[in-house]
Amino acid sequence: MIDFRYFLVSIVAIFFALAIGIVLGSGPLEGNINDAVKGTNEQLAAEKKALQDQIVGLDHGMAASQDYAAGVQPLVVQSQLTGQTVALVVLPGGSDRQLQSAIAAIEASGARVGSTVRLSDAWSDPGQQDLLSRVAEGLDKGETSSIGAVAGGQALADALVNTSGGNRVDPTGVTVVTGLAEAGFLDVANPQELRPAGLALVVAPDNDPNDAFTETYLPLIEALDSDGRGVVVGGAEPATLDGGTIAAVRSSDLSAAVSTVDDLDLSMGAGTTLLALVQQLEGGVGQYGLHSGADAVVAEQGTDGS
């Protein structure tokens, strides 16, 4: 049992300590404490301003580098792909701005766009895989798979690319693309003008990665590489995250044959993508950009990128 006198002494001691603290804080120590706090605040303010200045400098530097890349890109890509035809495949969630940037670089290089195909969400819908397989089987004269994404990917690749390319409309390819479009698996403008290409560029989704969706795109990418003379997968940082299309290519056996570019959202990315297509045409491969899995910023011409 606690003694009352002990309790009373404890209470008195507590108040005595508080009184001493108040006296010292408002007396001899007040100046020192205020000086210390003031000094700390001034130091933090100076550090904050230095960081803000650094951020402004980095922003100016990035803007200048993008302006420079946009300015020199026509000179870098000029005549690099004269006479070639490039097929464009935009995956669901692919950026229109990135697509247009790539088209500008392709056209500046002397190449032409053979077709621009946009896959719909139905392509990766588990409930549509049987239908995709049946449609592909009815359209493609080659061997088909019971797996919808595999069968559809092979049929579409057969329609879009071959090793010779060419500028003539391919009636068989037109039939395949038109059939897949009518079944709701893709959108394409002017399918009757579709021309087979030697090279292909796949624009990756620019939204949150989805493993299940990505798995349905890989067979198409592999088929484009097998049927044509080279394929590049371009996109931005989201595609390099776990489950993203570029990340999946870079971490699989496809990385030995398919090139990737992960900064197509920047001015310099379009030029890098074009140079990666040139390298593919020459038999080279590489993983380029600024994010996880990139081996270099840009493809060096005259090398295999490995």
What is the residue type of 172? T
> What is the value of pTM for the model shown?
0.77
Our separate counts of H helices and E strands in the chain read 9, 7
Contacts of 23 (CB under 8 A, 6+ apart): none
Domain ranges of the chain: 1-77, 79-288
Domain 79-288 sits in CATH at 3.40.50
Closest CA to 104 of 78, 84, 83: 78
- Tokens representing 282 are 């020459």
Q: Which residue has the tokens 């090793």?
A: 163
Closest CA to 82 of 298, 246, 281: 281
pLDDT per residue, tens digit, the chain (306 aa), is 556 666 666 777 777 766 666 655 566 555 666 666 667 777 777 766 666 655 655 444 455 455 545 545 554 555 689 999 999 999 999 999 999 999 999 999 999 999 999 999 999 999 999 999 999 988 876 666 779 999 999 999 999 999 987 677 888 899 999 999 999 999 998 888 888 899 999 999 999 999 999 999 999 999 999 999 999 999 999 999 999 999 999 999 999 999 999 999 998 999 999 999 999 999 999 999 999 999 999 887 654 554
